[in-house]
């Protein structure tokens, strides 16, 4: 294990993740009628609020990709709080800096990602 991510790096990742989340939520809430309420609900914590009907409705209005991305972003934010951020959720290895910079919400390293893709392609 190499050196831990410092506070400043974490803050930058948090900002990137929150910006990205806000952009998705904002863009999609514009097409909803109760947009303000939805936006507020979803912007708080997608996972915790998944029981609220607004959030459910909102989630249903998303495409699979957007929904998946929002959940990944929320999970990444949680990992930032718990110190697991930057580690692959499957093998525990560090995720490469470049990969993390391009996809800060990714839960897996490039090796596991490739493995998963090969497996789904083989089905």
25 makes contact with Zn ion (CB under 5 A): no
95 near Zn ion (CB under 5 A): no
Give 91's DSSP letter: T
Residue 88 within binding range of Zn ion, rule CB under 5 A? yes
Q: Calculate ∠ Cα 105-91-110, nearest 5°.
A: 55
Which of residues 30 and 120 has its CB atom nearest to Zn ion in the complex? 120
Does position 70 bind Zn ion by CB under 5 A? no
Q: Which of 10, 35, 112, 115 binds Zn ion (CB under 5 A)?
A: 112
> Which residues are CB-neighbours of 109 under 8 A, at least 6 positions away?
88, 90, 91, 93, 94, 95, 96, 99
Cα Rg of the chain (Å, integer) = 16
CB of 113 to Zn ion, least distance (A): 8
Q: Where does this chain bind Zn ion (CB under 5 A)?
A: 88, 90-91, 109, 112
């Amino acid at each position: 294990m190499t050196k831990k991510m410092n506070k400043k790096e974490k803050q930058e990742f948090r900002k990137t993740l929150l910006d990205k989340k806000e952009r998705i939520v904002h863009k999609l809430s514009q097409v909803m009628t109760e947009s303000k309420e939805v936006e507020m609900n979803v912007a708080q914590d997608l996972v915790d609020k998944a029981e609220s009907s607004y959030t459910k409705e909102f989630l249903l209005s998303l495409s699979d990709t957007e929904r998946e991305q929002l959940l990944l972003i929320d999970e990444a934010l949680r990992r930032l709080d718990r110190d697991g951020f930057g580690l692959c959720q499957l093998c525990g290895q560090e995720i490469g800096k470049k990969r993390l910079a391009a996809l800060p919400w990714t839960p897996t390293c490039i090796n596991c990602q490739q493995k998963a893709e090969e497996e789904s392609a083989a089905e």
